[in-house]
Every structure is written in C-alpha cells, then in structure tokens.
Structure 1
Amino acid sequence: MSSLREAQKKLTRDMIVERALELFTEKGYAATTIDEIAAAAGTTRVTFYAYYPSRSDLMRDFMGRVNAVLDRADGPEAGSSEANLVDVVRVGELAGILAWLESRAALWPVFRPYLDILDEAAAVDREVRTMVEEWHEEVISDLVKGMRLAGRFSEETHHIRGTLAFTQLDYVATLWTRRKLEPNREHALEILADSWFHLLCDEG
C-alpha cells in the first residue's frame, strides 16, 4: 500500500512540476501564481503547499531534475558532481571534450527549460539565486578537479579557467533555448570544444 501511495505522490509532484514549468515558460516566473499552478495540475493550493512549502522548494525540485538528467550525483564534498566531466577534463583530448559537449547538447531540450526558469527566478528570489550560484560552482569545481588530477596549469589559474569554460557553455546553450536562435549547432560545438581544449587541457 505504501508503494502505491508513494507512486501517487510522485505522480502529483511530477504533474505540479510539469504544469509549473509550462506556466512559468508562458507567463514568466514572477507573474505565475500558486493558485494557477495548482489549478493547472488538477489539485489545490493546500496540496501544492504540502509538496512545496515555498516557491524556492519548487525551484529546488527543478534543480534536482536538472542534476538527474545530467547524471550529477551527490559529490564527495557538498553539492553535486559529474564523474564523466571530471574524467574528460583529466584525460584532456579534444575528441573526448567534443563528444561530451555533444552528449550534453542532445539533452538541452530536456533540462534547459528548467535552468532558464531557475535563472529567471534567481533574478527575483535571493534563495534561488544562491542555489543557482552554488550549482554553477559545483560544475566549475568538476572542471577544476579534472585539471588538478592531470597536474595541469598553475593552481591559481584553475578557477578562472573553469569559470570561463562554464560561462561559454552556458551562453552557447541559451542560443537554443531562451533566445530561440539556432546557429549551426555542429560548428558552435566544435568551436566551443576547441576553446575548452585550450582553456582546460593544452599547456603547449
């Protein structure tokens, strides 16, 4: 009976998240009310708050879904980590970097809508802003860890190299989502991979 109840709870949670994502995308984060989300999900305001006591809790679920799609598991320290990303940077081969970027680009339609809303929410909600900034640092930490494991570059340059690489990836990804602009994806990823290779791997 408890497994059935858990399945029903998951169904309700998924429905709330899906309808919230649709409404946020259509109307904007700030303009969408809890009542509208609850009604669209076929439930009540009371039920919504039973699952998500605040909007920030809903955004935390959004972030959890992004991590699930990206295989970002709980890291050895706090936060999330992706072993494949660490390894790609550690090995430091252009072909491996391009393959990793292509695999992530294939998932953009799945997870970027969540990240776009998280960015929008971060502009008006300090708690969400902190959450998003910490997540950015978790990804950057994977890049840093890969360089450190390879014994590559001076330690004091690792963080800025990782930050630049992450910012480039985030910007290119928005070209296919928020901006609705689609340049040649293959060319964009090749240029991005080349930039990552020089930033993170090529000491020559």
Structure 2
Amino acid sequence: MVDSMAPEAQQTQARPRGRMRAAQREFTRSRLIDAAIEVFAERGYAKATVDEIADRAGATRATFYLHFKAKSDMISELMARGEEHYRSVYQDLGPIAHAPTTASVRRWLATAMREWDSVAGFARPIGEAASIEPQIHALTVAQQSREIGELADALRNGAPALSVKDAEVYASVLLAPLRYYFELYLRGQRFDERRVLDVMATSWMAVIGRIAEQPKRRRTAAAGVAAQSR
C-alpha cells in the first residue's frame, strides 16, 4: 500500500516526535544525574555502583549505558552544574571591583560562601573522583583555570586597564583562601565564618582596592608630567 501522505506532512509529523524523543532522553539523563548525586552522597563516589544509580533513577543498567560509558562520565555533568551556580556570582563582582569597599567585598564573599550548600553535593564526589581517576583530576585542573578566568574577567570588568595576565595572577591569589575554606567546609571541619569573612574581606579589599586605584594613579602621574612640561 502506497503512503498517500505528502512529504511535507510527513516531515511536520516527524518533527514533534523527534522533539519528544529528545526531551525524553534529556529527562532520563537528568534523572540519572540527580540519582547519582544522591548515591554519591550516601555511598561515596568509589563505592557507588552503576546498578545503584540506575535503580535510584528508576531505570535499568542498559538505560544508564545509553547515556554514559561509565560513572566517571557523570562527573563532567556535575562540574557543569557547579559552575552554573557560580557564574552569576562572579558576574556580580564586576560592579564591586569598579568601586570597592570592604563592606561590599564582604557581602560578595558571604554570597559566594552561601552557595557552598548548593554545590556541596557536586563538589564532594568530584573531589573523590579526582583522587582516583586521572582523567577527572585533569578536568578539575581545567575547571580551576576556568574559575580563575571568570574571576579575572570580573576584575577586568571593574578595571578595564588591568592586563589579562595580571588579572589572572590577582584572581589566583584571591581564590586561594576561598578554596581552602571551601575544602574545610566539604570535610565538615568547623571554622569561625564571621572572622574568616572579616579577614578575607580585608585582604581582598587590599588587592581589589589597589586594582581600582591604578587608573587614578596613572591619570595623576600623567597630569604631573604634563604640568612639568609646561
């Protein structure tokens, strides 16, 4: 029997079906990742199994392998989710870097630290996986470089005269204590958050304030040279 449906109608009918299948695949993939986060939190990355993750997601082992080659492949997805949480936080730093005060820097740091609750479920298994999977370790190194780049971009948004290389050096220096206390937080080690924020804000302000002052110092120096030449 010959199909009398016009090619255009067939294509129109195929497109919604294709979109539905793609949406279903994405839903299943997301469900598997959510399940992995739960299993990693309960069992740890090393002890978690593919069967446990698939079962928690209400899927089969075969379905898992349609989306991932191994549980280590899920780590890049967790890293992407963690980065998404911080992207807007770094964007908010640009205006602060333009005219920083210790209070505004402290508020930004407090906001960044509040995000730790949201990303802990991603960060713990990432750290565990990086310690035993060389390819994951390489991904975390690349992620740290991206984080430095994002902070460097935020600093340059506030001080466009700052060179890219200098901004990256400043960013790496500023991030070091924040990462240190994040690691303590992940390990469940308590610390005096208020005191840490006070001291960190002061040290960040010393750096960011210097960056913000550079264009002013250049203008003052240029004005002085111009006055001497008259």
Does the pair score TM above 0.5?
yes
1:160 corresponds in structure 2 to 169
2:85 corresponds in structure 1 to 69
The structure-2 alpha-carbon separation of the partners of 1:144 and 1:36, relative to structure 1 and needing over 3 Å to count, comes to same
Amino acid paired to 1:165? L
CA distance in 2, matches of 1:13, 1:156: 39
The 8 Å contact of residues 93 and 155 in structure 2, kept in 1 or not, is answered as no
How much does 1:142 deviate? 2.8
Amino acid paired to 1:63? M
Tell me, what secondary structure is at the counterpart of 1:183? coil
How much does 1:168 deviate? 0.9
1:75 corresponds in structure 2 to none
The 8 Å contact of residues 90 and 154 in structure 2, kept in 1 or not, is answered as no
The structure-2 alpha-carbon separation of the partners of 1:196 and 1:88, relative to structure 1 and needing over 3 Å to count, comes to same
Worse-matched range after superposition: 151-160 or 83-92: 151-160
Structure 1 counterpart of 2:68, from 49, 52, 57:
52
How much does 1:154 deviate? 7.8
Amino acid paired to 1:64? A
Q: Is structure 2 residue 55 aligned with structure 1 residue 39?
A: yes
How much does 1:155 deviate? 6.9
TM-score (norm 1): 0.78
How much does 1:12 deviate? 2.7
Q: Is structure 2 residue 156 aligned with structure 1 residue 140?
A: no
RMSD of aligned alpha carbons: 2.9
1:122 corresponds in structure 2 to 130
Determine what percentage of the aligned residue pairs are the same residue. Answer: 25
How many residues are aligned here?
A: 195
The 8 Å contact of residues 152 and 201 in structure 1, kept in 2 or not, is answered as no
The 8 Å contact of residues 89 and 146 in structure 1, kept in 2 or not, is answered as yes
Q: Give CA-to-partner distance per residue, 1:148-196, whole Å, 9 cap, x none.
A: 45267787654333212212111212333x2212323222222222222
The 8 Å contact of residues 130 and 137 in structure 2, kept in 1 or not, is answered as yes
Map 1:1-204 → 2, pairs under 5 A:
5=21, 8-71=24-87, 82-149=90-157, 150=159, 157-176=166-185, 178-202=186-210
The 8 Å contact of residues 62 and 118 in structure 1, kept in 2 or not, is answered as yes
TM-score (norm 2): 0.71
Worse-matched range after superposition: 97-106 or 147-156: 147-156
The 8 Å contact of residues 82 and 142 in structure 1, kept in 2 or not, is answered as yes
Name structure 2 gaps, 5 residues minimum: 1-15, 214-230
Higher radius of gyration, 1 or 2: 2
The 8 Å contact of residues 162 and 200 in structure 1, kept in 2 or not, is answered as no
